[in-house]
């Protein structure tokens, strides 16, 4: 049997798909549930997106894209952010990846050392806690409460900051 890296024992599991299974079962039984689980849309892929995918295949756009993502797409994102957030952004500062987990994992792996602290929203994406612990950091949750309109409470977050705090996760639509 292979000897696995010791850090593997720190990699937590996510129960999102277990919960999703229960949600699907209850929905099949007629229970009305608004799921905020795995991020799966509650609608089928729109026809224009299906057709764009088919056209891309027919045009042989079936090879690897640049590692940072297609430049024109990144440029479109940069223009959108610059316009809607009034923050100058350039496509060279945008990276497009397949999903959020790789970005979160690589960011924490890059920024956090053993013993550092990461403050993250709770409830929130379970990967924040599991990856922080995997890299040897301490996961410190900050509460997102309905009674406060599901908004961040800056005063409460400031109380969580210590000399070991290295990363603050802000996740807001």
**28-80 pLDDT per residue, tens:** 999 988 777 667 777 899 999 999 999 999 999 999 999 999 999 999 999 99
Instruction: Please classify residue 55 by burial: count the beta carbons closer than 10 Å to its beta carbon, then call 0-12 exposed, 13-18 middle and 19+ buried.
Output: exposed
Cβ-based neighbours of 141, under 8 Å, separated by 6 or more: 119, 120, 121, 122, 124, 129
Q: How many domains does the chain have?
A: 2
Could you tell me how far CA 64 lies from the centroid of its own chain? 23
| Whether residue 111 sits in one domain with residue 87 | no
Task: For residue 107, give the nearest of 28, 158, 97 by alpha carbon.
Answer: 97
Do 82 and 147 lie in one domain? The reply is no
Q: 107 and 168, same structural domain?
A: yes
- The domain containing residue 125 runs over which residues? 100-173
pLDDT one-digit tens code per residue, 106-132 = 999 999 999 999 999 988 888 888 899
pTM of the model: 0.71
Please check whether residues 107 and 169 belong to one and the same domain. yes
Q: Which two tokens stand for residue 92?
A: 């060279």
**Does one domain contain both 81 and 122?**
no
């Amino acid at each position: 049997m292979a000897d696995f890296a010791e850090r593997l024992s720190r990699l937590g599991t996510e129960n999102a798909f277990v919960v999703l299974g229960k949600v699907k079962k209850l929905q099949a039984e007629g229970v009305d549930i608004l799921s905020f689980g795995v991020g799966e849309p509650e609608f089928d892929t729109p026809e224009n997106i299906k057709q764009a995918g088919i056209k891309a295949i027919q045009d042989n756009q079936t090879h690897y894209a640049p590692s940072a993502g297609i430049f024109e797409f990144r440029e479109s994102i940069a223009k959108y952010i610059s316009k809607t957030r009034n923050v100058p952004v350039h496509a060279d500062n945008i990276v497009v990846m397949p999903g959020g987990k790789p970005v979160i994992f690589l960011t924490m792996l890059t920024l956090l050392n053993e013993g550092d602290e990461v403050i993250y929203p709770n409830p929130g994406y379970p990967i924040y806690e599991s990856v922080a612990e995997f890299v040897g950091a301490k996961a410190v949750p900050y509460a997102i409460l309905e009674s406060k309109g599901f908004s961040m409470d800056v005063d409460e977050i400031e109380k969580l900051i210590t000399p070991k705090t290295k990363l603050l996760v802000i996740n807001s639509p």
